[in-house]
Structure 1
Amino acid sequence: MQSIDRLSHNQITTNQWNLREAVEGCVRAGIPWIGIWRDKIEEIGLNESKRIVRDAGLKVSSICRGGMFPAATKEERQKRIDENKRAVEEAAELGTDVLVLVCGPSPGKDIEAARKMVEVGIEQLVPFAEEHGVKLGIEPLHPMYAAERSVIVSLAHANEIAEQYRPEQVGVVVDVFHVWWDPDLYNQIKRAKGRILGYHVSDWLVPTPDLLMGRGMMGDGVIEIHRIRKAVEESGYDGPIEVEIFNHDIWNTPGDKVLERMKKRYLEYV
């Protein structure tokens, strides 16, 4: 029988809540995992964030986000490495071994140079992350985000970078919203065997109301979520499954109602 033992509330789904509210909501809903965003940690501080999560007995599936490596100057690129090191430290303190990397857009028109900056940034970060027991999860984004959020836009490219390292150092995050369209998806999931560090779910609405804020609740769109889940499991992933939804209508809905709907749709469609 299906259960919610692996269900994780990526707290962007109830972005109207601060971390304390999100944690308390998970406890009320019986959701055992939470994926935490760094801006929510910053609001109340790392020590208080750690205390709240620990006292609630929740498990942290990941910290979002690291990355954003490309920048126009060497100095700015170094600042971003330093910021990523702080993200690694936060992940370690909060008890998760996964830092999700949204790798960043190009600072100019040279997208190939930006992709090289991503590779160099990850290379610089790996030793520090390994020292802290944290794995780097490269999350490829949908190609429509290439200019604003990430120049890594396919699971194939994420795999190519991750394969330069040991699986316990660098892996990939499979987010259905970003990869469902890819004709080579299932081959690339097989290729990622042993280094899938996260599975994120939502749905692709038709018509799509907004490129950033238009994600839907599972079952409201066109993604074969369960088929993709089976594929990532066949490639060795048995960790938490994060529900990550950017949608103003959902953000404007009372959080407890969102979590109850999330549980129902998780059991039905994931």
Structure 2
Amino acid sequence: MAEHAQPLQSIERLSLNQITTDRWSLREAVEGCARAEVPWIALWRHKVAEAGLAESKRLVQDAGLRVSSLCRGGMFPAATAAERQARIDDNRRAVDEAAELGADVLVLVCGPAPDKDIAAARRMVEEGIEQLMPYAESCGVKLGIEPLHPMYAAERSVINTLAQANTIAERYKPEQVGVVVDVFHVWWDPDLYAQIARASGRILGFHVSDWLVPVPDLLMGRGMMGDGVIDFRRIRQAVETAGYFGPIEVEIFNQTIWDMPGDEALALMKQRYLEHV
């Protein structure tokens, strides 16, 4: 077995995506990471808003953490031109927040169609990224397009395969726009490994959680690594072969995990990360 496919020997790349401990405030999540010696944190905008941008930045810096990404931008499609512009304006604010927090990447959850015209919605996504990119570049923030599993096409994103995300990202320089590989959303794709290779040099994030069988809930059904069917090691090896050695975010929507005491959730997350990722 190749060396880079072996179990990780440290947690130096491990990042807590804030949603995994959703009941924690930003302060609690930061303090929890510090106690657990988790070096990275991925922030969510609503948690930042609750704490305040300046206070969020101070808390993260004082704890010695690094911000792996800010979630989320995107949600570009809308029924009217005015609404679409409002989405762009909000994305510009998200870019400002990412820059202030020291996050190199703004994760784009691109948004659903406002009607039944999914092709038009995908064009709106492309146009939205085109409008946002120059501002993001000027702020030193990269845009990471995260394809979501097709079951989310009607609710959260019309960008549903890594191939779609690659096609959009390839219109730009890798330092401007790239892709985020979330195993929960892409593990099933028969073209996955070819598309990861295609994304070489422009993978901006790698997210892990597990696919439970049966899936208990459309949104809240993600599992802790090792509780489902995803081959994390093979996918990690592929993204590393494609040049990505950045932070690995654990991002889990699951009420049972949310209801755990945060420190217990972090301890389990670290254990499963070392065992399975």
TM range (shorter): over 0.9
SS of the residue 1:64 aligns to: strand
CA deviation after TM superposition for structure 1 residue 125, in Å? 0.2
Task: Tell me by how many angstroms 1:44 deviates.
Answer: 1.4
Q: Counterparts of 1:266 and 1:91 in 2: how far apart (Å)?
A: 26
Say if 2:113 is the partner of 1:106. Answer: yes
Q: In the aligned structure 1, how far is the partner of 2:186 from the partner of 2:264?
A: 28
Which residue does the alignment assign to 2:96? 89
Offset of residue 141 of structure 1: 0.2
Say if 2:214 is the partner of 1:207.
yes
Q: Which residues in structure 2 correspond to 1:122-141 (within 5 Å)?
A: 122-141=129-148
Counterparts of 2:247 and 2:87, CA distance in 1: 28
Identify the residue that residue 4 of structure 2 maps to in structure 1: none
Please state how far the C-alpha of 1:200 moved relative to its aligned partner. 0.1
Q: CA deviation at 1:2?
A: 1.2
Structure 1 SS opposite 2:147 = coil
Unaligned runs of 5+ in 1: none
* Paired position in structure 2 for 1:153: 160
Which residue of 70, 73, 78 corresponds with 2:80?
Answer: 73
Aligned ranges for residues 6-21 of structure 1 at < 5 Å? Answer: 6-21=13-28
**Residue 190 of structure 1 pairs with residue 212 of structure 2:** no
Q: Distance in 2 between matches of 1:123 and 1:152?
A: 15
Q: In structure 1, which of residues 116, 129, 154 is the aligned counterpart of residue 123 of structure 2?
A: 116
Partner of 1:266: 273
TM superposition shift of 1:183: 0.1
CA shift for structure 1 position 225: 0.8
Matched residue, 2:61: 54
Runs of 4+ in 1 over 4 A off after TM superposition: none
The aligned counterpart of 1:179 is 186
The letter of the residue matching 1:34 is: I
Identity %: 76
Secondary structure of the residue aligned to 1:123 is: helix
Cα distance in structure 2, aligned partners of 1:223 and 1:25 = 27
Cα deviation, 1:166-193, whole Å, max 9, x if unaligned, reads 0000000000000000000000000000
Distance in 1 separating the partners of 2:9 and 2:202: 25
How much is the aligned-residue C-alpha RMSD, in angstroms?
0.5
Separation in structure 2 between the aligned mates of residue 44 and residue 8 of structure 1, nearest angstrom: 20
The Cα shift of 1:101 comes to: 0.2
Alpha-carbon separation, structure 2, partners of 1:267 and 1:95: 27
User: Deviation of residue 226 (structure 1)?
Assistant: 1.1
In 2, distance between residues paired with 1:15 and 1:239?
23
- Separation in 2, partners of 1:14, 1:250: 8
Aligned residue-pair number: 270
Segments of structure 2 that go 5 or more residues without pairing to the other structure are 1-7
Aligned counterpart, 2:227 = 220
Please give the per-residue CA displacement for 1:68-98, whole angstroms capped at 9, x wherever unaligned: 0000000000000000000001100001110
Match of 2:51 among 44, 51, 61: 44
Any idea what SS the aligned residue of 1:78 has? helix
TM superposition shift of 1:143:
0.1
Give the letter for the 1:122 counterpart.
I
The alignment partner of 1:213 has SS state of: coil
CA distance in 1, matches of 2:172, 2:91: 18
**Distance (whole Å) between structure 1 residues aligned to residue 44 and residue 78 of structure 2:** 22
**Corresponding residue for residue 245 of structure 1:** 252
Report the secondary structure of 2:70's partner residue.
strand
CA distance in 1, matches of 2:215, 2:11: 28
Question: What TM-score does the superposition give when structure 2 sets the normalisation length?
Answer: 0.97
